[in-house]
Amino acid sequence: MSLRILVGCKRVIDYAVKVRVKPDHSGVVTQGVKHSLNPFDEIAVEEAVRLKEKKHASEIIAVSCGPAACQETLRTALAMGADKAIHVEVSEAEYATLQPVHVSKILAKLAERTQANLILVGKQAIDDDLNQTAQMTAGVLDWPQGTFVSQVEPEGDSLKIVREVDGGLEHIKVKLPAVVSADLRLNEPRYATLPNIMKAKKKPMEKLSAKDLGVDIAARIKVVNVAEPPVREAGAKVENVDELLGKLKDLGRI
């Protein structure tokens, strides 16, 4: 069965940035901070492109929900090999309370609209760390889910999947259409080359709103406070192993 893949691309603060909490405790500082494609979504895009290179997939559509800057994120996915992009524009204000409960409904509507039979997303976004979107999208659509996936292989009208679970690995098989979420070890994402970045500028990008899709994105949560985590007291360095073991003994840890 030829795959038509919808791949979720979230724009997040770059993983290497040390985030700072806003002085008014309403959130973290995002202005002027380097953003990039969520690392897990990068893995999802890479897997989609590999499936297409192996002739399992016919088309890859990258999707991002959020403010206008998400279009840069989508261009990255296009430069990696996605065929076209859909930007579901959400205002900055609405984006602050946009949750997987909303995104999953948007993805479900888009799957219908694009006749996708595989939705690939990262297992979690490194900003909210929720780890929900794949599972919820599968729930909305009543499709099977393969989450935290480290290996995926099409076989007839199904996917053979290896999942990373507590204690080891799990093998399952899901029937298409399905939702899959990528874990770190699924693949090593490629770098977009300059010629591909140039080509990506010419690839089609459709702009929609949640309203166009009939999805209500009213807030479900209210952020009461965002605080710095407790700071650890600076520790001491020891000179040698004897001192180290002595201290551990004194603390009752050995």
Partner 1 sequence: MTIFLAVVRMRSQSLMAELVGNYAYGERSCPSDATDVSGVASEAGKADGVKKLLVADDASLDGLLPERVAPVILASQKQFNFTHIVGPSTAFAKNVLPRVAAKLDVSPISDVLDIKSEDTFVRPIYAGNAIQTLQTSDAVKILTVRASSFDAVGTSGSATPESAPKAEGVKLDISTYVKSEISKSERPDLSSAKKVISGGRGMKSGDNFKMLYDLADKLGAAVGASRAAVDAGFVSNDLQVGQTGKIVAPDLYVAIGISGAIQHLAGMKDSKTIVAINKDAEAPIFQVADIGLVADLFQAVPEMLEKIDKFKSK
When asked if residue 140 is in the footprint of partner 1 (CB under 8 A), the reply is yes
Q: What is the dihedral of CA 80, 8, 146, 170, to 10 degrees?
A: 50
Out of 70, 79, 119, 136, the residue judged to bind partner 1 by CB under 8 A: 136
Cβ-based nearer residue to partner 1, 79 or 148: 148
Q: How far is the CB of 217 from partner 1 (least distance, A)?
A: 11
Q: How far is the CB of 146 from partner 1 (least distance, A)?
A: 8
Phi–psi pair at 182, nearest 5 degrees: -85, 135
When asked if residue 34 is in the footprint of partner 1 (CB under 8 A), the reply is no
Interaction residues for partner 1, span 39-78 (CB under 8 A): 40
Q: How big is the site for partner 1, counted in residues (CB under 8 A)?
A: 83
Phi–psi pair at 183, nearest 5 degrees: -95, 170
Out of 71, 114, 135, 196, the residue judged to bind partner 1 by CB under 8 A: 135
Out of 166, 194, 195, 202, the residue judged to bind partner 1 by CB under 8 A: 166
Burial 121-147 (b: 16+ CB within 10 A, else e): bbbbbbbeeebbbbbbbbebbebbbbb
**Backbone Cα Rg of the chain:** 21
Q: How far is the CB of 214 from partner 1 (least distance, A)?
A: 14
User: Using omega within 30 degrees of 0 as the cis cutoff, is the peptide bond preceding 230 cis?
Assistant: no
18: CB partners within 8 A, 6+ apart: none
219: CB partners within 8 A, 6+ apart: 94, 97
Cβ-based nearer residue to partner 1, 194 or 221: 221
When asked if residue 186 is in the footprint of partner 1 (CB under 8 A), the reply is no
Determine which helix (DSSP H) or strand (DSSP E) holds 45, and give its type and residue range: helix 39-53
Cβ-based nearer residue to partner 1, 140 or 197: 140
When asked if residue 245 is in the footprint of partner 1 (CB under 8 A), the reply is yes
When asked if residue 183 is in the footprint of partner 1 (CB under 8 A), the reply is yes
Q: How far is the CB of 200 from partner 1 (least distance, A)?
A: 28
